[in-house]
Amino acid sequence: MPEPQTPERAPGEDHQPSQPSGIFVERPQSATATKGKDITFVAKVDSSNMAKKPTMKWLKGKWLDLGSKAGKHLQFKEVYDRNTKIYTYEMSIIKVVDGDAGSYRCEVTAKNKCDSSPFEVSVQAAPEEQQDNILEAFKRSGDGGEDAGELDFSALLKKREKKPKVVEEAEVDVFLILKDAKPCDYERIAFEYGITDLRGLLKRLKKMKKVEPKKSDAFLRKLDAAYSVDKGKKIHLSVEVTDPNTPVKWLKNGQEVKPSAKYVFESVGNKRTLTINKCNQSDDAAYECVVGEEKSFTEVFVKEPPVTITKLLDDAHTVVGQKVEFEVEVSEEGANVKWMKDGVELNKETAGSRYRFKKDGRRHVLIVNEATKEDIGMYHALTNGGESKAELEVEDKELEVLQSIADLTVKAAEQAVFKCEVSDENVKGKWLKDGVEVRPSDRVKITHFGRTHKLMIDDVKPSDAGDYSFVPDGYALSLSAKLNFLEIKIAYVPREDPPKIHLDAGGPGGDNTITVVAGNKLSLDVQITGEPAPTVCWRKGDQVVPEGEGRVHVESNKSLSSFIIERAEKDDEGRYSISVTNAAGEDVVELNVKIVDVPSPPENVRCTSVGEYSGAIAWDPPAFDGGVPIKGYLMERRKVGSSRWTKLNFDVHESTAYEAKRMIEGVLYEMRVFTVNGVGTSEPSATSQPFMPIAPTGEPTRLTVDDVTDTTCALKWRPPEKIGAGGIDGYIVEYCKEGGDQWVQANEEPVVNNQYRVKGLPVGERMLFRVTAVNIAGRSPPATLPQAVTIREIVENPKIRVPRHLRSKLTVRVGEKVNLVLPFQGKPRPVATWSKDGVLLEDKAVGTRTSDVDAILFIRSAERSHSGKYTLSVQVESALDSADLHIQVVEEPGPPVAVRVADVWGSNAALEWKPPKDDGNCEIIGYTVHKADMKTKDWFTVVEHNRRPGCTVSDLVMGNEYLFRVFSENVCGLSAEPGISQNTAIVTKTGLSHNRAPFKEADVNCSPKFTAPLMDRSVVAGYSTAISCAVRGYPKPKIIWMKNNMIISEDPKFLMQNNQGVLTLNIRKPGVYDGGKYSCRAANDLGEDVVECKLEVHVVQEKGAAAKN
């Protein structure tokens, strides 16, 4: 990793390092980088006071997240120190270029904390190499050799002509002066600042002026310099053009963009918008908007959403030589996962053949081919949105001897077989005789099958006797046995020998006990001697063991009898006897067969306590020990939801309690235990209940006294600053007398709230109080009051605090609910009483309720009788305070009375009335007057909100007779019933007389006839439409609408209207299937008539679909 470069500073500038503030321990410093070189910036964050790991972001400018640009040019590194709990973050820029200059910022975010640190990066050109020996630039004149002639300084002077840096440093300010100066002042400025090449300087100034942006003729507003969008979202690029009719073209990386479902063009007035839907990495490009000869440039950055880890890594525990797999699952396929070991990145270039990387969809696997001690450490899987870590523990491999080789005694020409069995079937080894390796031959054969190794010697000779041993490769282990050669001498003197059983079972105390593992085969070979050949009989108790058949049977020959049990069971255990008989006598030997098995698993595995990084478990011994003593136990753990178990010990643990360490706080774990005896390992126990390693919380904060009475004390506090992953189950409150040390717990169960009232305290005593937070890890340190509290009631005068909205009259409608709350204060608890209009409140319909801090007045259904002044009085001893509430229950008023037409003149009528008898318990605010022509009896409003009990109605039609009605109005609205005028107003035609002819009733009956037919229509699908016609006829005809000669019933899609003979059929959002022939039929007793029309519904295709077609 390249070392950070120290930025250059002006001479004499004092550099004061920035003091750590916020959550930064060390902040990145501004620096000047050399072009082509590497530079590193470092930030350190203290996480000791954080509940979770902080999140670090490196930004350039205001918004560009550099995490998405990580690669060969930008590299990021994160290291965590467990001892100091400090995170170290590094950002390295490899081979700095000019574009890396600018403002940078690093932001760190915790659960409830955030801090930011800006810094600047400037880029300078690489310095030219100067000549180390300046004398080499000197030249000698003449041809006399190295020392001949005079020194010629011309070469050195030519080199000095190329030094432009001093001039450039002075030219920066001159450029700014010339830029704002008039051309006539150029020579004066050049003379003042000693500029000799004025023409060259003016050329450079002309180029600078070309770069300056000029006002655009085609654009009113150009594209922003850059845009940022999240992957999968859409983005709008918009400009404003000068001419609203001018066409525009959009280019992406120089290629014209065509409109499609992904790229949508919009043109509204002067605004032109390009919308990019569902952005992906291919849309991360440079875009241009072209109007004529002018262009507007921008760049779109597509930010991928952070890739999170959905399945965490599991800790691994293995032995040397085994393969280990770390598997992690991420939220998206194809995401990049970075693997690290102890802060060092693992990749294909650095991992070599030791590590392999595997991807399968969202699964990423790191494979350690053959684990060694060097692979021990902490492994991290990192994405741009999260990380997971797991620990690998590797222990030396142990080889277990399942069956050792035994001593052999054989006769000449017989076969000798040495056999042993080890726990690893892949282990090879060597056979030695008297320290010399045994080589296979025609008579000596060496085999290795599975876990069994055999050495077989055919046609044994006296020279084969000796010490034999088997040595496994790679282990400091040797299995030895002895081969004895038995030389047989033949006696030619015939004689009778009594039978003899040659058996040595090797049991403890010489009791001939044979131990067999359940499920294994027992084959006991017993050598028998005697002349003549004896008869052999095996018994279990009184039952004879059969020969040659059954699971338990006997196989015998002249000198050997074999007792065989196939697949030994517990019922085979017991006392057995073997008896041999011939003419010379009898011999009997008894032996005991003991069947042993693996034990049953432990019971009741449970977690007894937890720490910040540990958990203590305990269990009960197994119910069945397998017939042999229990050696100890093996423990395993796993994270909840994981399928991989991690071994916690390789050597058996003898106790029934164990403390598992090196756990991660806040992660749920499960445990299981195995029992180990001399036979093997049991099945795993039932999984323990999940538990979480957590530490006790910090002490509660801001413990204060809230209230004190003669026998109680109310306390309140704030939660601890450090809570941890275990949260808080509650709080324990304790108290003791001042000067004592006997703390008494006030609450039996932990309280969840941050306040508690301690009761039953002695009056007048000075008491100390303390509060402790409790979670599954135990109790926190206590928070104690600094001073003792005297248990005595504090007298406080009563005071009622009337809410602002109750300080004025409260108006309520009849039937509404009334619920008024008046808070008050006072100690001891004040006595509250309610009264209405100066009389003690006894109305059962009005309810009251009083607490320590407020009084409530409630009415379930208000009535007008509930109106009045309610007074609340609170009293503490002789002190008294009261407050009044004015409640007015109102309803709609009654109708006006005595409505009459007082006078009629011209086209005017004067009305008079009296106020209503019932005003609804509130002021009448106006009247509303309606009129009706006696011919039509239709009512029309003529006056509203009239304040006086009378009005004048104008613009009446001459010759008509009018009736009037009046509604009264209050805050609840108009009265339910109007007051109708007692007489009518007849507007006569003055100065005219007409002799009407006798009235003759005309015959208006006629059959239905359509006066306006239905017209054919063509409509667009999805837009509501209507078809209309007009009909006349008397009596009023019955109207029937039909579609394709089918009557249209009560379909919500159709709305049929009839307004004075104008018939309308409204069709709501018609579809293609709503087209067809529509008809309207009108019928009465005199006849019927029908009109028809044709309705066509067509679908409008979208522009994009039409373009494709």
Burial 919-944 (b: 16+ CB within 10 A, else e): bbbbebeebbbbbbeeeeeeeeebbe
Q: What is the mean pLDDT of residues 1029-1053?
A: 90
User: Each residue of 882-895: pLDDT tens digit?
Assistant: 999 999 999 999 99
Residue 15 clears pLDDT 80, i.e. is over it? no
d(CA 1015, CA 1008): 19
- Residue with tokens 């001949």, as numbered in its chain: 148
Lowest mean pLDDT among 192-196, 753-757, 899-903, 1010-1014: 192-196
User: Each residue of 216-245: pLDDT tens digit?
Assistant: 678 888 888 888 888 888 999 999 998 888
Where residue 1038 falls among pLDDT bands split at 50, 70, 90?
A: very high
Per-residue pLDDT, 602: 93
Q: What angle do CA 530, 535, 537 make, to 5 degrees?
A: 125
Task: Specify whether the CB–CB gap between 472 and 399 falls below 8 A.
Answer: yes
Residue 967 β-bridge partners:
928
User: Each residue of 101-141: pLDDT tens digit?
Assistant: 888 888 888 766 778 888 999 888 877 554 444 444 444 44
Q: Which amino acid is at 433?
A: K
- Residue with tokens 């100065």, as numbered in its chain: 991
What percentage of the chain exceeds 70 in pLDDT?
A: 87
User: Each residue of 492-510: pLDDT tens digit?
Assistant: 555 677 888 887 655 554 5
Lowest mean pLDDT among 505-509, 843-847, 989-993, 1079-1083: 505-509
Q: What Cα–Cα distance (Å) separates residue 1039 from each residue in 525, 1051, 1067, 1089, 1094?
A: 115, 16, 17, 10, 19
Three-class secondary structure assignment of 376-432:
CEEEEEEECCEEEEEEEEEECCCCCEEECCCCEEEECCCCEEEEEEECCCCCCEEEE
d(CA 227, CA 213): 20
User: Each residue of 541-550: pLDDT tens digit?
Assistant: 888 888 877 7
Per-residue pLDDT, 694: 80
Burial class of residue 700 (count of CB atoms within 10 Å of its CB; 0-12, 13-18, 19+): buried
Lowest mean pLDDT among 291-295, 318-322, 419-423, 922-926: 318-322
Q: E-assigned strands of 761-878?
A: 766-775, 778-779, 783-784, 789-790, 796-800, 810-813, 818-827, 831-836, 839-840, 846-850, 854-859, 868-876
Per-residue pLDDT, 1104: 52
User: Each residue of 668-678: pLDDT tens digit?
Assistant: 899 999 999 98
Per-residue pLDDT, 84: 85
d(CA 419, CA 452): 7
Token pair listed for 750: 């932990």
- What are the backbone dihedrals phi and psi of residue 426, each rounded to the nearest 5 degrees, phi first? -90, -5
Token pair listed for 103: 């403002």
d(CA 148, CA 327): 80
User: Each residue of 162-199: pLDDT tens digit?
Assistant: 444 433 333 445 666 776 777 777 767 776 666 655 66
Q: What is the mean pLDDT of residues 39-54?
A: 85
d(CA 797, CA 877): 9
Task: Specify whether the CB–CB gap between 740 and 658 falls below 8 A.
Answer: no
Per-residue pLDDT, 400: 81
Where residue 757 falls among pLDDT bands split at 50, 70, 90?
A: very high
Residue 3 clears pLDDT 80, i.e. is over it? no
Mean pLDDT, the chain, whole residue set: 83
Residue 916 clears pLDDT 60, i.e. is over it? yes
Lowest mean pLDDT among 233-247, 500-514, 582-596, 1023-1037: 500-514
Exposure of 411 in the CB half-sphere (CA atoms within 13 A): 2
Residue 657 clears pLDDT 90, i.e. is over it? yes
